[in-house]
Structure 1
Amino acid sequence: MIPNPCKIEGFFGRWDPEVEYFACASDVDPLSLRDLLELADADTRALWNGLELGYTETTGHPLLREAIADQYPETAATEVTVCAGGAVEALFLLAHTLLGPGDHAVVVWPAFESLHRIAPSLGATITGVELDADNGWRLDIDAVRKALQPNTRALFVNFPHNPTGALPSHAEFAELLAMAGDAGVTVVSDEVYRHLEYDDADTLPAACDLDERAVSVGVMSKAYALAGLRIGWFATRNPAITATARTLKDYTTVCSSAPAEILSLIALRAHDHLIERSRTIIKANLAHAESFFGSHPDTFAWAAPAAGMLAFPRLLLPVPVEDFVTDLVRDQRVLLLPGTVFDTTDNRFRVGLGRSALPQAFERMEEFLTARGH
């Protein structure tokens, strides 16, 4: 079966041509090719200059896999698989690896669509466990435990979280992994916003390092601001998952773009520089967001994210959030993402803190609100 249509992509496809300010973007201002190549060291510059545009290795360039594995102290480069379709390909492969008819999975809710829309097309069922909006989007591990069933095969989590910016403590995350492991459930940890914590001390260990049965998913799109490369990966010390997912990959993308792999290698070797660039943009925009939403307490219920570049405020006006978003983009060419694409019903919308033009978007929103007497 084919999964249900992707609401997020459908929404962006509808409005992209009319937007000047993407105030809901899930990535950081992208680097130019020139800026990225200036970060190349002698070895990667030589690789780039001598690049041949043939097929690449199915599992990814060995040097790229080594650079990815540098993020995972307990996981080897041989246990990393590079994906040509970003994190969404990795999540697609993992869902097909872990789930089938009659199986069950649990997902932390609200959730990016790849974490929950694929399972039903495979004949599996999904139970969502909601983060506690009234308690800083806290994860209730007891609720996760109660959601597990005898046929539960996978637990899909995402921290730092899209769309709320939630982040559990180290102890909570370790407890979650241990609980799933004791139940024989594979944790698929979507870690695409990892390294965008505001304090290094808050960065969680990768799931693949905490539990040899778990899987970590990463991507070049978010923290590294290189969505156009379409390079993602999954890492796990579970050889059965790796073998099955790699077999499936032979029927999807087969291998990655040779230029994208070398450019990703350049970026990963410049990790500290690119992470600092992204964090600088996000932190500046967080201050602007605090100021804007704080000046409209009767219009919005704002809660700052604990980490990452996304927040999920609630519209307090007696107006459906989809109407508010539609009027805003038509009047001011500013785009917010309504919470309905995440199947939420409490009038929330997603704000992205990764674009340097966000202050100008807030100015447009201010004009929009003033014109309507708010």
Structure 2
Amino acid sequence: MYPPPFILERFFARHEFSARYLLSTSDCQGMPMTVLLAGADDELRRLWHGLRLGYTESQGMPELRDEIAALYESVRAGEILVAAPEEAIFLVMNALLSSGDHVVCTFPGYQSLYELARTIGCDVDLWQPKEGEDWYFDPADLEALTRPDTKLVVCNFPHNPTGALPSHEAFARVISAAERSGAWLLSDEMYRLLEPSDEVRLCAAVDLYDRGLSLSGVSKAFGLAGLRIGWVVSHQGSLLERMKALKDYTTICSSAPSELLALMGLRSRTDILAANRERVLQNITTAAEFFDRHSTLLEWAPPQAGTVCFPRLTALGDSADAGRGGRDVTKAAAGAETFCARVLRDTGVLLLPSTVYGYGDSHFRLGLGRDDFATGLEVLDAYLIRQTDGA
């Protein structure tokens, strides 16, 4: 099994650690280790000071799985497999799928959510949103794509890169569509817990559907991406056993320090999540003012939840169908890829063009989770003003 290059990850490998201003990242501000340790309770501090750097339990540290289980309504610690989030996607796909299976996946999105299925030999259909309706993922479109033999439905809400979040009623139809086909439902919930209010937060798929799997981790909502700790949750014991057996061929087990630090983060989740949600909301307000100033060039739909949005370069014309075989803007002189490259070259501001997602050439991803968002946006703002004045 050798999937094609992961375009987004190759893009960040080239630019993430050399660009001066990161306006395209999807995680929240990385937490200093000193702050995380300072917030730990006495029990966790004792465990930290006595930690031995040996192997850990393959399924994950029991205390960590207990804390993860508390995030759900119906999950026991034994139904959780701890793994790096990308690793968990790999394990799920390989444990569930065979060549010829039918898969439906939200798109645009994180490449491994659909590319691994393609590499296995699956028939993959893409469920795409309606940009003109604030990136609405219409359940009717999903219902039209699912078949009696659909093996897996993959969704990601809050959605990366658009920031879309279905209503509770719409998500219930997603569950029903999978249920009618007897399909598994893999729900990428990496941005869950970053909703502007508890009322709009969707229930985890694993709590709604017996064949639902919830994928999450501490990278995005918690700002602890460097720990490389995530998890996948399933009520289906046989599937969990297959994933555990496959993990013996990937990492075997997670890092002992990372697991303990992730446990600290989860136990401090009330404060951590509140701070991260407040930062995102402040950055959305700053972004709204920016887009108002540049409305002749840029158009955006504010994210309904999560840390990212997906603005459009309006100077290219109507590209709402760019990802669906509509107007081809990839050859436009000022397409998103060219625009982002020029911005990076001239200002050091890193934006993520939609070509990375294979979704036309008229959008870019903007990340709203970092402390220096306003500073980077000021640099971009000044650049665009100079370009307009010089036109």
Q: Could you tell me which residue of structure 2 aligns to residue 72 of structure 1?
A: 72
Q: What are the superposed Cα offsets for residues 139-172 of structure 1, whole Å, 9 maximum, x if unpaired?
A: 2112111111343211110000000000001121
- Amino acid in structure 1 at the alignment position of 2:43: D
1:217 to 204, 208, 215: 215
- Amino acid in structure 1 at the alignment position of 2:16: D
Q: Judge which range, 7-16 or 298-307, deviates more.
A: 7-16
1:360 and 2:360 matched: no
Q: Could you tell me which residue of structure 2 aligns to residue 126 of structure 1?
A: 124
Distance 2:387 2:18 in 1: 22
Q: Could you tell me which residue of structure 2 aligns to residue 184 of structure 1?
A: 182
Q: Could you tell me which residue of structure 1 aligns to residue 198 of structure 2?
A: 200
1:287 positional shift: 0.4
Q: Could you tell me which residue of structure 2 aligns to residue 329 of structure 1?
A: 344
Q: What are the superposed Cα offsets for residues 102-144 of structure 1, whole Å, 9 maximum, x if unpaired?
A: 1110001111111111111111121001111111111211211
1:199 positional shift: 0.8
TM-score (structure 1 length as normaliser): 0.97
1:15 and 2:15 matched: yes
- Amino acid in structure 1 at the alignment position of 2:335: P
2:270 to 261, 267, 272: 272
Distance 2:22 2:123 in 1: 34
Moved over 3 A (4+): none
User: What is the aligned residue count?
Assistant: 372
Unaligned runs of 5+ in 2: 317-333
- Amino acid in structure 1 at the alignment position of 2:386: A
Give the conservation status (yes or no) of the 8 Å contact 1:315–1:321. Answer: yes
Q: Judge which range, 361-370 or 229-238, deviates more.
A: 361-370
- Amino acid in structure 2 at the alignment position of 1:13: A
Distance 1:155 1:266 in 2: 33
> Cα RMSD between the aligned structures?
1.1
Distance 1:129 1:94 in 2: 20
1:1-374 equivalences in 2 (<5 Å): 1-83=1-83, 86-318=84-316, 319-345=334-360, 347-373=362-388
- Amino acid in structure 2 at the alignment position of 1:52: R
Q: What are the superposed Cα offsets for residues 166-198 of structure 1, whole Å, 9 maximum, x if unpaired?
A: 000112112211221121010000000000001
Distance 1:17 1:177 in 2: 40
Distance 2:281 2:22 in 1: 17
Q: What are the superposed Cα offsets for residues 248-301 of structure 1, whole Å, 9 maximum, x if unpaired?
A: 111111100000000011110111011011111111101000000111111001
3-state DSSP of counterpart to 1:373: helix
Give the conservation status (yes or no) of the 8 Å contact 1:107–1:126. Answer: yes
Distance 2:47 2:177 in 1: 44
Distance 1:129 1:175 in 2: 14
3-state DSSP of counterpart to 1:317: helix
Distance 1:136 1:238 in 2: 35
Q: Percent identity?
A: 40
Give the conservation status (yes or no) of the 8 Å contact 1:325–1:335. Answer: yes
3-state DSSP of counterpart to 1:166: coil
